[in-house]
Chains A and B, each alone.
Chain A
Amino acid sequence: MEPIVYVLDEQVRDLLTHLTSAGTLEEGVAFGFDDWTVFHAYTEKPFTTPSGIVCPCFAVRADTAGMVDETRLTSSVRARTDLSERPAVVLVVDTHSDGTPQCRALIVSHSKMAAADTRFVPRRSELYSRNAGLLETSALAAKKVVVVGLGSGGSPVALDLARAGVGQFTLIDFDRLELGNISRHVCGINDLGRYKTLAVRDQILQKNPYASVTTMEVNINQALAPVEEAVAKCDLLIVASDNDQSRFNLNQMSLNHNRTALYGRAITRAAGGDVLRVRPWTGPCYNCVFSSGLIDGREEEMSQKRQALAVLPAYVEEDKANAMIQVGLSSDIAPIANMMVKIALLELSRGQETGISTLDEDLKADFYIWANRREEAYAAWPLMNYKWTRPSILRWYGARVERDPQCLVCGGHLKADTPLQGIVQ
């Protein structure tokens, strides 16, 4: 099989603008896979963390006739680098008569030189060709999503939105990836120790190299102003954080700026979970649902000690905090993340005729409940069996929740523009 070399379309275009004379070698870097049968070649710094085995890469411009002296080129490459352990990738770039970039790759080892099958990646038009008809991908590319919490819930949501073609992200989290996260996270061992924001950003760019991703490594409860600024500019707020204080703060921000927000969480041991959509001032806010009693007895999953200690009084023994850490499987989190993605795409596509528009007619509720197993809050649910008219595990249930007129966040009790003068001593 002929080796395959992938090169980034825009890097070849850039190369052609500054590599004006034929024969000059420009250095880059390549990464080889699978006994040197596949290479990813870069002429500039890769925009994501690359994988594979690093090997030399050179680029050269062909002469006016589109030719290059391969014997001389091979000698130059061998003189520049030691090829006894690994081959080098050489990119020969040129333009077609119609002005489009052209690139062919050669694989040069210490003993031979071979042509490779060269492929441009990505072409924006092809990137989301499989979504055509279902989503308006060009419109999604302009949408801005803020994702708060890049753990086992938020990271797959962010990644799936990138897969669907969403083009602009702000990722907010102050945690770093630890070994205990890996089994439920979209990132792996090679991201250990990194901020989750940066590791997920790289995953997003792997799926959508044209995405614009900004990151904020902050605790939102201590960085309210910059987070609110990001929320004010977004089209949709995704909340996958792990504490109520952050959700209350984000709820206020979504109301302040009239931004739709989606909240998702898993309950203890991920026996189930829920998803809430807040359409500011038209439906219930997070506080309306929280204080409605609907989530009483459905305690949030605690996946790390920091999370448990934050909600427990200081006198609670460490053993109790440790006992509260009861996590579920990645496959238990997946349905919750999946539901958030579906509602997110609906919200981001609102106002346009898409292949998923009928879903909007079904997803009338703002609050959805899911059960993975008959335990915890769902222990008394009937067996699934063959019945579909009774509550059962592994199905979504929409709950009708109205705005609470007594809600002290959105209920209209607060008189706007009330200066503090007169009540401060």
Chain B
Amino acid sequence: MAWTSQQSARLRLEMEILERYFPSFYLKDSIIPGRACVEGIIRSNSGAEYVVRLHVPADLPNSVPDLEIVSPFLHDRFGHSLVELGTSYPMHLLKPEGGLVRICHYSASHWNPNITFAKVLLKIRAWVEGYEGHIETGFPIDHFLPHMQA
């Protein structure tokens, strides 16, 4: 199965937007639906770099894309691996996959096809600042980033 023509057009639109706002991101690995991903670097205000991978859903743009931090390997302020934390409400974390931290950015009930990859990455940009705030202060990430209403 291949991308439909609408999905191909949507992917191109997504990449055009990313080129403007997150220029390091590129479509990677495969153009096969369900395997493709978009990967790039998000830089925090402190200058730290995070490699972020967004999995393009096979039914693009109709479901929430999974998003993970590829590197660096993240720990909390107290030295625990974020992967070992597992799902965490205060840290906005979903169940890790393949040893990588997955960020909860949109719940399915808040998702709609008007949300672009750039908007998701903008939330990850905010999460990164929240994460560094946690490292600095010990407050959980949701101290800096409130949750969306379910």
The chain A residues found within 8 Å of chain B, CB to CB, are: 221, 224-225, 243-245, 248-249, 252, 256, 287, 290-291, 299, 310-316, 320, 324, 406-409, 413-420, 423-425
Find B113's partner among A312, A314, A315, A409 (CB 8 Å cutoff).
A409
Contact indicator A420/B8 (Cβ below 8 Å): yes
Contacts of B62 in A (CB 8 A): 221, 245, 248-249, 252
Contacts of B63 in A (CB 8 A): 221, 245, 248
Number of interface residues of B (CB under 8 A): 38
The chain B residues found within 8 Å of chain A, CB to CB, are: 1, 3-6, 8-13, 15, 26-28, 31, 36, 58-59, 61-63, 87-89, 93-95, 104, 107-109, 111-114, 116, 150
Contacts of A409 in B (CB 8 A): 61, 113-114
Contacts of B36 in A (CB 8 A): 424
- The 11 listed contacts between A and B (C-beta, < 8 Å) are A245-B108, A248-B61, A248-B112, A248-B113, A249-B59, A313-B87, A406-B114, A408-B61, A414-B9, A417-B5, A425-B26
Contacts of B61 in A (CB 8 A): 248, 408-409
Contact indicator A408/B10 (Cβ below 8 Å): yes
Contacts of A324 in B (CB 8 A): 150
Per DSSP, chain A at the interface is loop
Q: Given the known A-B contacts A245-B59, A314-B94, A420-B3, are A291 and B27 also in contact in the complex, defined by CB atoms under 8 Å?
A: no
Distance between A256 CB and nearest chain B CB, rounded to angstroms: 7
**What's the Cα separation between A415 and B8 when bound, in Å?**
9
Residue of B nearest to A290 (CB): B112
Inter-chain contact total with CB atoms closer than 8 Å: 109
Find B9's partner among A245, A320, A406, A416 (CB 8 Å cutoff).
A416
Find B114's partner among A245, A310, A408 (CB 8 Å cutoff).
A408
Residue of A nearest to B10 (CB): A414
Contact indicator A420/B12 (Cβ below 8 Å): yes
Distance between A291 CB and nearest chain B CB, rounded to angstroms: 5
Given contacts A244-B108, A291-B114, A313-B107, 15 further A-B contacts (CB under 8 A): A244-B109, A245-B59, A245-B111, A252-B62, A256-B4, A291-B112, A311-B108, A311-B109, A312-B107, A312-B109, A314-B94, A408-B114, A414-B6, A418-B5, A423-B12
Contact indicator A315/B111 (Cβ below 8 Å): no
Distance between A340 CB and nearest chain B CB, rounded to angstroms: 22
Among A406, A407, A414, A416: residue with most chain B CB under 10 A:
A414
Q: Given the known A-B contacts A249-B62, A313-B94, A415-B12, are A244 and B3 also in contact in the complex, defined by CB atoms under 8 Å?
A: no
Find A221's partner among B15, B27, B59, B88 (CB 8 Å cutoff).
B59
**What's the Cα separation between A419 and B9 when bound, in Å?**
8
Contacts of A291 in B (CB 8 A): 112, 114
**What's the Cα separation between A58 and B136 when bound, in Å?**
87
Find A315's partner among B1, B11, B59, B88 (CB 8 Å cutoff).
B88
Contacts of A310 in B (CB 8 A): 108
Find A425's partner among B28, B107, B108, B113 (CB 8 Å cutoff).
B28
**What's the Cα separation between A314 and B6 when bound, in Å?**
31
Contacts of A425 in B (CB 8 A): 26-28
Q: Given the known A-B contacts A407-B114, A417-B5, are A311 and B27 also in contact in the complex, defined by CB atoms under 8 Å?
A: no
Pairs of residues from A and B, 6 with the lowest C-beta to C-beta distance, nearest first? A248-B62, A414-B9, A311-B109, A315-B87, A311-B108, A315-B89
